[in-house]
């Protein structure tokens, strides 16, 4: 890239970064400061968030600088790594990381990074300049993930998984040499802290191109330590192709969960420190997926159908992906209707009303009556409050079924 093109690109980059929208004045930063990493890459791709995470490197005293900024701007300083002099400023929903440069200068720091597209910097002096020593801009243009060198990936094997995450987010491909490096060292990933692996996977499954990346991950066995060893992974994985009837918001809800259940076993989710809520949701989805006999659950009992919608109500689109197109349309239409009594089950009476109506205290019997009322409503056998009250009295009098 010639000097004129680089100068023009620098102006475009600064405009996209919109420095005036940052929650601090760049003059607060030292003159040797440079913006690096994801914000630069995303701005070049014109895919920058309104409040992007900002990563800066300074020559020295990064933690001291963040503490001063936090005090002056009434933010919060979080020391991320005292030994390596890295701290985070949390300010008005912005996350700003500042690190002491690795090595003697900016070029040496950039040479220690993972991929060329993450080794592009913008100096923030009086005249901002792009620094791109490894041709990351050209790799972005060619939609390639290119490793800077093999040693950097071995030093932190999480970078292997990050390469696939970048492909998932930005529709990139691996260059030939990088692909062989990732495959050669895929067995090193278990050396990485589970929480860091979890964070990358959470980003990967949300990527718009995750479906084309996941088979490549399967092929090299990158996540095999956290997968079901008895599971046979399909060579093609394109759930998004089966979700053509979905709204975009429904796809954003369903696809990451569907991919997560495919990628990791329940034990794997637990070992990678996913939240209890995530583990439970995946376990429930997996259970109902295994009960689907390709006839839209027409073969299950009425009670099981009710339990399906109780257990999976919020995340039902993730289950609908596996239904036929005709059944998808039917199920989605009903799920989109908040008043559908089966797809959004609820009792026509709440617990307090039931206690008052029956003149009794709270107890397990009331819970069973509430569930029965919900089931009757779900299958369109209760239409009015009076009918619900009458049934509640009847069920209370007929204690035997509930004792």
Q: What is the pLDDT of residues 313-334, one digit of tens each?
A: 999 999 999 999 999 999 999 9
Tokens of 120: 């592009």
pLDDT band per the 50, 70, 90 thresholds, residue 398 = confident
| CATH 3.30.460.10, the chain: domain bounds | 3-137
Query: Average pLDDT in the 60-70 region?
Result: 95
Q: Is the pLDDT of residue 39 over 50?
A: yes
Contact (CB, 8 A) for 201 and 272 = yes
pLDDT at 293: 74
Reported as a pLDDT band with limits 50, 70 and 90, residue 231 is confident
Closest by CA to 346, choosing from 388, 315, 316, is 388
- Does pLDDT of 403 surpass 50? no
Q: What is the fold of 143-222?
A: Hydrophobic Seed Protein (1.10.110)
pLDDT in tens, 165-184: 999 999 999 999 999 999 99
Query: How high does pLDDT run on average in the chain?
Result: 93
Task: Check residue 399 and give its pLDDT.
Answer: 62
Q: Is the pLDDT of residue 89 over 90?
A: yes
- Short-list 305, 332, 170, 165, CA closest to 242: 332
pLDDT tens digits, 280-296? 999 999 999 998 876 88
At residue 382, does pLDDT exceed 50? Answer: yes
Q: What is the location of CATH 1.10.110.30 in the chain?
A: 143-222
Q: Please state, in angstroms and as integers, the Cα–Cα distance from residue 242 to each residue in 193, 246, 276, 290, 320, following that order.
A: 34, 9, 29, 18, 9
257-266 per-position pLDDT tens digit:
999 999 999 9
Instruction: Give one word for 294, left, alpha or beta, with left for phi > 0 and alpha for psi -120 to 50.
Output: left
Q: Which residues contact 312 (CB under 8 A, 6 or more apart)?
A: 284, 285, 288, 318, 319
**Architecture per CATH, 3-137:** 2-Layer Sandwich (3.30)
Q: In this prediction, what percent of the chain has a pLDDT beyond 90?
A: 84
Contacts 24+ apart (CB under 8 A), 60-66: 60/85, 60/100, 61/85, 61/100, 62/86, 62/87, 62/98, 62/99, 62/100, 63/87, 63/98, 65/29, 65/30, 65/98, 66/96, 66/98
| Res. 400: pLDDT tops 70 | no
Q: Describe the crossing of helices 276-291 and 248-263 by its angle, rounded to 10 degrees.
A: 90
Predicted pLDDT at 402: 45
**Average pLDDT for residues 176-201, to the nearest whole number?**
97
The answer to pTM > 0.75 is: yes
């Amino acid at each position: 890239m010639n000097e004129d093109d680089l100068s023009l690109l620098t102006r475009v980059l600064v405009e996209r970064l919109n420095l005036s929208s940052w929650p601090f004045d760049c003059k607060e930063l030292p003159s040797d400061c440079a913006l690096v990493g994801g914000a630069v890459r995303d701005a070049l791709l014109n895919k920058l968030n309104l409040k992007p995470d900002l990563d800066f490197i300074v020559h020295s005293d990064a933690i001291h600088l963040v503490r001063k900024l936090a005090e002056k701007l009434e933010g919060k300083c979080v020391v991320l790594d005292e030994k390596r002099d890295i701290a985070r400023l949390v300010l008005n929903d912005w996350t700003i990381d500042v690190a002491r440069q690795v090595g003697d200068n900016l070029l040496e720091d950039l040479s220690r990074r993972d991929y060329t597209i993450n080794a592009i910097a913008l100096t923030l002096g009086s005249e901002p300049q792009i620094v791109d020593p490894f041709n990351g801009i050209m790799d972005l243009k060619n939609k390639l993930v290119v490793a800077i060198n093999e040693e950097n990936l071995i030093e932190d094997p999480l970078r292997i998984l990050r390469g696939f995450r970048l492909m998932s987010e930005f529709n990139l491909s691996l260059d030939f040499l990088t692909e062989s490096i990732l495959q050669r060292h895929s067995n090193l990933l278990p050396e990485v802290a589970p929480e860091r692996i979890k964070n990358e996977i959470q980003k990967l499954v949300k990527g718009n191109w995750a479906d084309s990346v996941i088979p490549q991950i399967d092929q090299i066995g990158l996540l095999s330590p956290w997968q079901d060893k008895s599971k046979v992974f399909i060579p093609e994985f394109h759930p998004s192709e089966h979700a053509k009837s979905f709204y975009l918001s429904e796809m954003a809800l369903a696809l990451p969960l569907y991919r997560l259940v495919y990628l990791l076993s329940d034990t794997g989710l637990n070992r990678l420190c996913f939240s209890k809520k995530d583990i439970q949701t995946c376990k429930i989805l997996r259970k109902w997926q295994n009960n689907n006999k390709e006839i839209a659950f027409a073969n299950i009992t009425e009670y099981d159908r009710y339990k399906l919608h109780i257990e999976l109500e919020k995340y039902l689109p993730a289950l609908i992906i596996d239904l036929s197109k005709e059944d998808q349309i039917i199920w989605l239409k009903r799920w989109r209707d908040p008043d559908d009594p089966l797809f959004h089950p609820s009792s026509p009476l709440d617990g307090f009303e039931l206690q008052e109506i029956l003149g009794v205290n709270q107890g397990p019997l009331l819970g069973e009556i509430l569930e029965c009322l919900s089931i009757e409503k779900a299958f369109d056998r209760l239409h009015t409050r009076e009918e619900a009250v009458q049934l509640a009295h009847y069920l209370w009098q007929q204690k035997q079924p509930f004792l």
